Amino acid sequence: MEATQLVYDGSFEGFLSAIFLVFERKLTNVTIYPEHNQPPELFATKEIVITETHKADRVWKGLRKKNAGKNVYQLYYAFLSEKRGVENLLLDCIKYIFESETPVFKNYSNPSVLKIAQIAKMVGREKHRMEAFVRFKLTTDGIYFANITPDFNVLPLISKHFEKRYADQRWIIYDLERNYGLHYNLEFVEDIQLTLPENFNTSITSTDFFTEEEVAFENLWKDYFNSVNIASRKNKKLHERHVPKRYWKYLSEKQ
């Protein structure tokens, strides 16, 4: 059978629409890629998938019906890892889930189930880290702003956490790597895209953009951080295990 390459728009809905297509046409020799990351495939028919919400919904509901409970979110978490080829791993896994009579989300002896669980765990860790390491700065127009560059696309996962927690202040968390962000406007959270000013430095708190108070509070926090350290118990190794160096750029106290 001829190989088919499905190309979707990069969204989770788009991906689920592609899955729908696989089952609808009973495609067996098929691979799925996002449009921004397609490999050159010489001997395959390339086909663009149209994202359709109702089809995506049907796939999602179908998965939930498979006695999955919360486990179904593992698939979403793994999808957000944006790892190269994760779509095809997910496809394997979803096929296996639909084919089985009994719930198989925890059957780690199946290699694709195990792999998905491992990736989902990595994404979950990154989510938790971002909930901890996001640092807001108050801009001159009264918005609490934070920029991040997470390893995975975790913004959709942390949205609820911050919405519940900071219900009375406007805030933006911006993913510089993926060039989009979350904006909470005191009513709800929306996705936004910003063009940051030329002279905006993401690691320096300049009073061109942030309030004078902001600099003062950052200093207070730094002082606090230094004062709570007990020098005679210094344990550099443990410190770096908890806060790996690649996260220091978010943390004003580590600058």
Partner 1 sequence: MSFERVQEKLKILADAAKYDVSCSSSGSKRNNKNKGLGNATGMGICHSYTEDGRCVSLLKILLTNHCIYDCAYCVTRKSNDIKRAAFKVQEVVDLTIQFYRRNYIEGLFLSSGIFKNADYTMERLVAVAKKLRNEENFNGYIHLKSIPGASDELMREAGLYADRLSVNIEIPSKSGLKKLAPDKNFDDFIQPMNKVKNEIIQYQSEKKIIKSTPIYAPAGQSTQMIIGASGESDFQIMQTSNHFYKKYHLKRVYYSGYVPISYDNRLPKIGSEVPMLRENRLYQTDWLMRFYGFHVNEILNTQHQHLDLDIDPKLSWALRNLHEFPIDINTADKRMLARIPGVGMQSVHKIIHARRYRKLNWEHLKKIGITLNRARYFITCHSQEFERRDLTAENIKGLILQKGKSKYQTTLSNQLSLFD
Residue 17 CA to residue 10 CA, distance in Å, equals: 11
Residue 186 CA to residue 183 CA, distance in Å, equals: 9
- Which CB, 55 or 129, lies closer to partner 1? 129
| Binds partner 1 by CB under 8 A, chosen from 15, 137, 150, 205 | 137
Distance in Å, CB of 240 to partner 1, minimum: 9
Distance in Å, CB of 77 to partner 1, minimum: 17
Q: Select from 44-52, 80-88, 200-208, 240-248 the region that touches partner 1 (CB under 8 A).
A: 240-248
| Binds partner 1 by CB under 8 A, chosen from 48, 50, 132, 192 | 132
**Residue 7 within binding range of partner 1, rule CB under 8 A:** no
Residue the block writes with tokens 């968390």? 173
**Residue 141 within binding range of partner 1, rule CB under 8 A:** no
**Residue 238 within binding range of partner 1, rule CB under 8 A:** yes
**Residue 70 within binding range of partner 1, rule CB under 8 A:** no
Q: Residue 139 contacts by C-beta under 8 Å, 6 or more apart in sequence? A: 145, 209, 210, 211
Q: Residue 206 contacts by C-beta under 8 Å, 6 or more apart in sequence? A: 200
Distance in Å, CB of 164 to partner 1, minimum: 4
From residue 101, how far is each of 98, 104, 105, 139 by CA, in Å? Answer: 8, 9, 12, 55
34 and 8 Cβ atoms separated by less than 8 Å? yes
Contacts with partner 1, 154-193, as mask; x by CB under 8 A: ----------xxxxxx------------------------
| Binds partner 1 by CB under 8 A, chosen from 26, 54, 70, 233 | 233
| Binds partner 1 by CB under 8 A, chosen from 38, 192, 223, 255 | 223
24: which 2 tokens? Answer: 């609808």
To the nearest 10 degrees (0 to 180), the angle between helices 53-65 and 12-24 is 80
**Residue 225 within binding range of partner 1, rule CB under 8 A:** yes
112: which 2 tokens? Answer: 């694709």
- Which CB, 64 or 135, lies closer to partner 1? 135
Give the sheet arrangement for strand 144-148, strand by strand.
Answer: 137-138, 144-148, 171-175, 180-184, 189-192
- Which CB, 21 or 148, lies closer to partner 1? 148
| Binds partner 1 by CB under 8 A, chosen from 144, 174, 184, 209 | 144
| Binds partner 1 by CB under 8 A, chosen from 142, 193, 198, 230 | 230
From residue 32, how far is each of 62, 66, 150, 232 by CA, in Å? Answer: 20, 23, 24, 55
